[in-house]
Amino acid sequence: MEKVIMNNEAPATQDRKILVVDDEPHVIRSLTFVLEKEGYNVSSATNGKEAMTKIQESKPRLMLLDVMMPKKNGYEVCQEVKNNSSLSDIHIIMLTAKGQEADREKGLSAGADEFMTKPFSLKAVVDKVKEILGDGHETKN
Amino acid sequence: MKQKINTQNNTTERKQTEEALRESQEFSSSLLANSPNPISVINPDTSIKYVNPAFEKLTGFTLAEIAGRKPPYPWWPEEQGEEIVAAFKKRLAMEGGRTERNFQKKNGGRFWVEINSASVVHKGKTIYFIFNWLDITERKQTEEALRESEEKFSKAFHSIADAICITSLKDSKFIEINEAFTRFTGYTREEVIDHSAAELDLWVNEEELKRWIKKLREQGKTYNEEFHSRMKSGEIRIGLASAEPINVGGEPCRIVVIADITERKQAEELYRTLANSSPVGVYIVQDGKFVFVNPQFQKYTGFSEDKLVGTESLKLVHPGDKERVRESAVAMLKGKRLTPYELRYIVKNGDTLWATETVTSIQYKGKRATLGNFMDITERKQAEEALRQSQEQLQTMFESMTDGILVIDLNGVITEVNQRAVEMHGYKSKGELFGKSASKLVAPRDHERITANMQQALKRGKIKNMEYTLLKADGTEFPGELSTSALKDTSSKPVGHITIARDITERKRMEQQLKHQMEELENAYQKLKELDQLKDSFLSTVSHELRTPLTSIKSFSEILLSYDEDKETQKEFLTIINEESNRLTRLINDFLDLSKIEAGRMQWETVELSLDEVIQTALNATQSLTIETNLKVGADIGADLPTILCDKDRLVQVVTNLLSNAIKFTPDGGAIQVKAQLQNGNKPGRDSDMVMVSVSDSGIGIAQKDQRSVFEKFKQVGDTLSNKPKGTGLGLPICKEIIEHYGGRIWVESEPGKGSTFLFTLPITQKKEVKAAKAPEAPQAKKEEAKVVTKGGKEGKKILVVDDEANIRRFLKHELTNRGYHVLEASGGKEAIDLAREYHPDIITLDIVMPDINGHDVTAVLKNDPATKNIPILVLSIVEEKEKAYRLGANDFMTKPFTMKILTEKINRLLQDTQIQDAHKTILVVDDDKSLVKSIKYRLEKKGFSVDTAYDGKEAIEMAEGHHPNLILLDIVMPEMDGYEAMKVLKHKPNTAGIPIVVMTGVENVGGKVKALSVGATEYLNKSSGFDQLLKTIEGILYNKSGG
């Protein structure tokens, strides 16, 4: 799948870097698809460990972080990131198929900016991303 | 002789004179000789010339012996000595007169003689002395005797204590009195003699005098007449006079003897005064009767003097004491000294008085009498009794206190102890503790502490509730609690302490138990939380698993709708959607399956299966997968394998799952083998008579540590090879549930890299199981009918159908006869009762509303009659009166209209219940999910339980009351009345309160267990825990096995 890059020269690629972390390939696929459509630069990881590696390699502006993952779960990643001064400015949206209030609080208290439950509306996710990154002017389609 | 002699005539004259002389001499001699009086002739030279025979006779001396003897003569007694010589000399000198002398005989005996003497003179010269004796011995003796007698009499007369006087009857003058008379009257002898009593003014009392005279006149004598006499001094004396006639010197006289009883009288008077003024009761009993009772005695006894005097004293004595009193009296009379004794009197008003008496023997009015001093000790006795009772009570209390009491002195020595203390410390008797040191009751390690505390107690007065380790007699220790109070004497000095000891073993144990329970509760709570968390995580996992494919479906749908992509991309995305949908579906199905199985809601269709068929079907299903991957699949099915009982679809599912796993985890080109054989296990027990099926692959294998967890939900072990569809994570758990439901076992044998073999066993169909199991006789059994058959078949079972409506009876008779029952009919209550008693049907269907006697009454009657009470009654009624029916003893209830299916179901069950009721435990299963109930019931009945069912709380209560199950499985969430409500009611009713309740719930509720337990549940299970857990729990409760 080729990436489609936005017409307008977006601000530094850095600013549009998004890391999608989920153990489900299809989820990565769908999220990557729409986000790229919106002009973001999307990379992915399928587990927490891989995620950390990718972060170190290239610091994204925002992470979409699934909770239930093998090896290292989303909370752990979140905490690690937030505890790391050099990484703590990364915005984090946590995604989970667990739907309880406790999880939401847990996520938010771990430092996530937002917490969204699956199944989510892709549009909602995109909007949220834009909101957090302050890219409100983007429209698609 | 004159010597005037003539010579001549001299001879004759001389002869005549000689003759005359001779005659005269002879005359004299014969005079002398014949005299009865002793005569002695003494020569002038005092030699004895002659003594006459009388003399000889008297003295015993013969003449021959004493002739010529000179004084002292032998008859002179020596003791008279000089005196007698002098007297003799006197006599010789003619100076003697008549004298009396006492001489002695030859033989020593004495005699008295009166002596006269004369001298014979011739020519002026004394030639002889003649002593003339007169024997006066007798006279003398008589005189002596008389004199003695007179002396005696005189002595007596004079020395006698009593006054004696003799008066002449002629002139009433005193002619003789004795000394005592003088003392009595104060007059001397001279003053009295020849005077009369009147003259002396002796009589004081005229009455007495009159009486005296009267008596004398009538009887001539008197006896002990009391009279007052006036002394010379004027003093009055009292005497007892007795008079008798007497003859004195020929004259009639009267002799009066007077006893001076003045002192005695005074004494009596004094005594009487004393007695009368005594605060103590005094009485005198003489001859067994009261002769004197003082006022106090009268007061005590309530009887007046006149009532008492003259009555037998024993009459007043309490019957129980009469004997004793009598004996005492006898003993006292015998002279024994008596100590005071206690006795009871019955007094005038009937009360019983306690008295203490001392009795003494006295003289009363001249006779022996008993003097009694009597003190009313009733009050004292009552006080004593009260004290005794109080002491007894105290003693009883002391002894019966549930705590031990010990009294210990300052040296730590036990001085008093109650029975409880003895028992508590394991001793047999108080004796073992008296005088022993209290420290032997306390464990050595506490000695110091207890000593210190006791000191404190003495100082402070008391010290309470201190715990120590105490010792028993055999050395075992036990916990005790002691409270000590100091014991002080009257000067408030401590003399010891009293300690109350309590054996707190029980309390400690309970504390421990409570602590333990609290801990357990805490643990349970923790576990519950964990479980909840686990459940949470399970739910989360499931939720996650479900949402994940859903996310993809939704996302890609969204993408497809939002973006126009090329056909390839579209196709790709649609494929993804499709795949995820499938995955979702599979997941949902698996999840539901598992949940249903675990909750026991699975509807099993158990049939006899041949493994051949099953395996074949499974192979067919997975064939497509194997083709793609070039895997070789082989099957090795034993010949003549016995059939097994299983749900066909489920078993196929199991084999399919195992096969697909094998396929998933085996790389291309590998081999898969399915084997089925009879397993005659070496070990006896469950694995014998089982068939074993195995699915082996040459795949990646499973590590030892993971071999168990493969059967856990959502545990994906190892990576599936990428081109295989992702599993749900529930496949093996479901297989496990299925296999275990049918009594088999599933496990894996594997080594990483060497492939895996999954195996399961299932029991083969047993001949008897066919009958016992609720399987129908043929696999194609009607699925509509309940798969329940009666033991021993329906044939011959008698049903009594009771209904007043002929149509209904006809219908039932028709339907039931078709089903193999033998039907009796009754159109009314009375007929029903009669038929029931006569024919003893195996079951009765009973209408309620009937004209003569309604169904409720019939139920009551039949259930109260021992002959019919065991016949199950199924009430069929249009009226919803279940509760009443059950209360009266109906076994089951159905409302009309009913379906035959349910009716036969109930009938079957009732018939069966009666057969197996006694032997088996009954479980009441309550859940609004009817299929779940059915499922649990099936499984429980297979395990040999008898099962009742109810679908809501109300029905549960009715069934519990009516059928008294041994245990109740109770769902919580139910309409009308939920489980908690029902449980509360059940625990409240006395006849159901004892039935253990196992709460089952499908709802995840953190506080659920605690709530359930607090309402009274015996156990709490989540429906997802599985049937095995349920069974274990039930068995644990019913059979007191551990675990559950």
Residues of B with CB under 8 A from a CB of A: 536, 540-541, 543-556, 558-559, 562-563, 569, 576, 580
* Band of pLDDT at residue B775, cut at 50, 70 and 90: very low
The string of pLDDT tens digits covering residues B254-307 is: 999 999 888 888 887 887 788 778 778 888 888 888 888 888 888 888 888 888
Report which of B1001, B1003, B968, B1010 is spatially closest to residue B985, judged by C-alpha positions: B968
pLDDT at residue B695, as a whole number: 92
Nearest neighbour of A97 by CB, restricted to B548, B555, B580: B548
Q: Tell me the sheet residues that pair with B970.
A: B926, B999
Residue B352, token pair as written in the block:
């019983």
The string of pLDDT tens digits covering residues B54-82 is: 999 999 999 888 888 888 888 888 888 88
Other Cβ atoms closer than 10 A to A135: 17
Closest residue of chain A to B548, computed from CA coordinates: A97
Alpha-carbon gap: A106 to the closest alpha carbon of chain B (Å): 14
Contact between A26 and B580 using a beta-carbon 8 Å cutoff: yes
- Mean pLDDT to the nearest integer, B888-901: 80
Cβ contacts of B548 on chain A, cutoff 8 Å: 24, 27, 97, 118
- Mean pLDDT to the nearest integer, B344-363: 83
Other Cβ atoms closer than 10 A to A90: 21
Range of weakest confidence among B110-119, B157-166, B377-386, B909-918:
B909-918
By the 8 A CB rule, do B486 and B462 touch? yes
Q: In whole angstroms, give the CA distance from residue B131 to residue B51.
A: 9
pLDDT at B951 over 60: yes
Q: In whole angstroms, give the CA distance from residue B566 to residue B574.
A: 12
Range of weakest confidence among B276-285, B777-786, B998-1007:
B777-786
Q: Could you give the count of Cα atoms lying within 13 Å of B216 in the half-sphere of its Cβ?
A: 17
pLDDT at residue B992, as a whole number: 83
More confident residue, B806 or B540: B806
Angle at CA B340, nearest 5°, toward B335 and B344?
Answer: 115
Q: In whole angstroms, give the CA distance from residue B126 to residue B116.
A: 16
Q: In whole angstroms, give the CA distance from residue B220 to residue B274.
A: 39
Alpha-carbon gap: A99 to the closest alpha carbon of chain B (Å): 8
Alpha carbon dihedral B368, B370, B371, B372, in 10-degree steps, equals 180
pLDDT at A104 over 70: yes
- Mean pLDDT to the nearest integer, B318-324: 86
Cβ contacts of A73 on chain B, cutoff 8 Å: none
Closest residue of chain A to B562, computed from CA coordinates: A141
More confident residue, B711 or B523: B711
For testing the chain A interface, which of B534, B540, B559 should be mutated: the one with the most A CBs within 10 Å? B540
* Band of pLDDT at residue B913, cut at 50, 70 and 90: low
Q: Which residues are CB-contacts of B984 (< 8 A; sequence separation ≥ 6)? A: B1015, B1016
Contact between B547 and A117 using a beta-carbon 8 Å cutoff: yes
Range of weakest confidence among B438-442, B583-587, B650-654:
B583-587
Alpha-carbon gap: B752 to the closest alpha carbon of chain A (Å): 21
CA distances from A25 to B545, B651, B713 (A): 14, 34, 22
User: Could you tell me whether strands B798-802 and B822-826 are parallel, antiparallel, or unpaired per DSSP bridges?
Assistant: parallel
B584: three-class secondary structure by DSSP:
helix
Q: In whole angstroms, give the CA distance from residue B527 to residue B309.
A: 99
Nearest neighbour of A98 by CB, restricted to B543, B556, B580: B543
Give the DSSP letter of residue B816: H
- Mean pLDDT to the nearest integer, B232-241: 91
Q: In whole angstroms, give the CA distance from residue B527 to residue B516.
A: 15
pLDDT at residue B779, as a whole number: 43
Residue A118, token pair as written in the block:
């699956």
Contact between B553 and A122 using a beta-carbon 8 Å cutoff: no
Residue burial B970-1009, b: 16+ Cβ < 10 Å; e: rest? bbbebeebbbbbbbebbbeeeebeebbbbbbbbeebeebb
Alpha-carbon gap: B543 to the closest alpha carbon of chain A (Å): 6
A30 CB within 8 Å of a chain B CB: yes
Contact between A1 and B569 using a beta-carbon 8 Å cutoff: yes
Cβ contacts of B583 on chain A, cutoff 8 Å: none
Contact between B552 and A26 using a beta-carbon 8 Å cutoff: yes
Q: In whole angstroms, give the CA distance from residue B591 to residue B277.
A: 116
pLDDT at residue B537, as a whole number: 67
Residue B829, token pair as written in the block:
């209550």
pLDDT at A59 over 50: yes
Cβ contacts of B559 on chain A, cutoff 8 Å: 30, 33-34, 122
Closest residue of chain A to B553, computed from CA coordinates: A119
Alpha-carbon gap: B450 to the closest alpha carbon of chain A (Å): 57
- Mean pLDDT to the nearest integer, B613-617: 86
Nearest neighbour of A98 by CB, restricted to B544, B553, B554: B544
Cβ contacts of A120 on chain B, cutoff 8 Å: 551, 554-555
More confident residue, A92 or B901: A92
Contact between B554 and A117 using a beta-carbon 8 Å cutoff: no
Alpha-carbon gap: B699 to the closest alpha carbon of chain A (Å): 23
Cβ contacts of A98 on chain B, cutoff 8 Å: 540, 543-544
Q: In whole angstroms, give the CA distance from residue B897 to residue A72.
A: 64
By the 8 A CB rule, do B215 and B199 touch? no
pLDDT at residue B187, as a whole number: 92
Alpha-carbon gap: B597 to the closest alpha carbon of chain A (Å): 24
pLDDT at residue B82, as a whole number: 86
Cβ contacts of B547 on chain A, cutoff 8 Å: 97, 99, 117-119
A29 CB within 8 Å of a chain B CB: yes
* Band of pLDDT at residue A43, cut at 50, 70 and 90: very high
Contact between A24 and B569 using a beta-carbon 8 Å cutoff: no
More confident residue, B531 or B584: B584
Alpha-carbon gap: B591 to the closest alpha carbon of chain A (Å): 16
Alpha-carbon gap: A137 to the closest alpha carbon of chain B (Å): 18
pLDDT at residue B758, as a whole number: 93
Contact between A30 and B545 using a beta-carbon 8 Å cutoff: no
A73 CB within 8 Å of a chain B CB: no
Sign of the torsion formed by the C-alpha atoms of B17, B23, B26 and B31 = negative
Other Cβ atoms closer than 10 A to B1022: 23
Q: In whole angstroms, give the CA distance from residue B665 to residue B62.
A: 187
pLDDT at residue B879, as a whole number: 66
Q: Which residues are CB-contacts of B325 (< 8 A; sequence separation ≥ 6)? A: B314, B317, B343
Contact between B555 and A30 using a beta-carbon 8 Å cutoff: yes
Alpha-carbon gap: B551 to the closest alpha carbon of chain A (Å): 4
ipTM entry: 0.81
By the 8 A CB rule, do B934 and B978 touch? no
- Mean pLDDT to the nearest integer, B200-211: 90
Contact between A26 and B536 using a beta-carbon 8 Å cutoff: no
Highest mean pLDDT among B432-436, B722-726, B883-887: B432-436
pLDDT at B19 over 90: no
pLDDT at residue B822, as a whole number: 87
Q: In whole angstroms, give the CA distance from residue B139 to residue B376.
A: 74
* Band of pLDDT at residue B922, cut at 50, 70 and 90: confident
By the 8 A CB rule, do B454 and B410 touch? no
Cβ contacts of B536 on chain A, cutoff 8 Å: 100
Closest residue of chain A to B717, computed from CA coordinates: A70
Cβ contacts of B549 on chain A, cutoff 8 Å: 26
Cβ contacts of B576 on chain A, cutoff 8 Å: 26, 29
Q: Could you give the count of Cα atoms lying within 13 Å of B996 in the half-sphere of its Cβ?
A: 17
- Mean pLDDT to the nearest integer, B791-807: 74
Other Cβ atoms closer than 10 A to B195: 16
pLDDT at B796 over 70: no
A139 CB within 8 Å of a chain B CB: no
Nearest neighbour of B558 by CB, restricted to A29, A99, A123: A123
Give the DSSP letter of residue B315: G
* Band of pLDDT at residue A18, cut at 50, 70 and 90: very high
pLDDT at residue B794, as a whole number: 47
Contact between A30 and B556 using a beta-carbon 8 Å cutoff: yes
Q: In whole angstroms, give the CA distance from residue B149 to residue B155.
A: 9
- Mean pLDDT to the nearest integer, B1013-1033: 82
pLDDT at B317 over 60: yes
**Ordered DSSP codes for B640-701:** TPPPEEEEHHHHHHHHHHHHHHHHHHS-TT-EEEEEEEEE--SS-STTTTEEEEEEEE-SS-
The string of pLDDT tens digits covering residues B145-181 is: 888 888 888 788 888 888 999 999 888 899 988 888 9
CB-based burial label for B666 (10 Å; 0-12, 13-18, 19+): buried
Q: Which residues are CB-contacts of B832 (< 8 A; sequence separation ≥ 6)? A: B800, B802, B826, B844, B846, B853, B858
- Mean pLDDT to the nearest integer, B969-988: 86
Report which of B410, B459, B399 is spatially closest to residue B437, judged by C-alpha positions: B410
Three-state helix/strand/coil letters over B701-747: CCCHHHCCHHHCCCCCCCCCCCCCCCCCCCHHHHHHHHHHHCCCEEE
* Band of pLDDT at residue B792, cut at 50, 70 and 90: very low
pLDDT at B931 over 80: yes
The string of pLDDT tens digits covering residues B639-696 is: 777 888 888 888 999 999 998 888 888 888 788 889 888 876 555 554 457 888 999 9
Nearest neighbour of A27 by CB, restricted to B541, B551, B559: B551
Residue B1034, token pair as written in the block:
């039930």
- Element housing B882 (H / E): helix B882-888
Cβ contacts of A117 on chain B, cutoff 8 Å: 547
Mean pLDDT of chain B: 82
Residue A8, token pair as written in the block:
């307008």
Alpha-carbon gap: A138 to the closest alpha carbon of chain B (Å): 15
pLDDT at residue B228, as a whole number: 92
By the 8 A CB rule, do B970 and B956 touch? yes
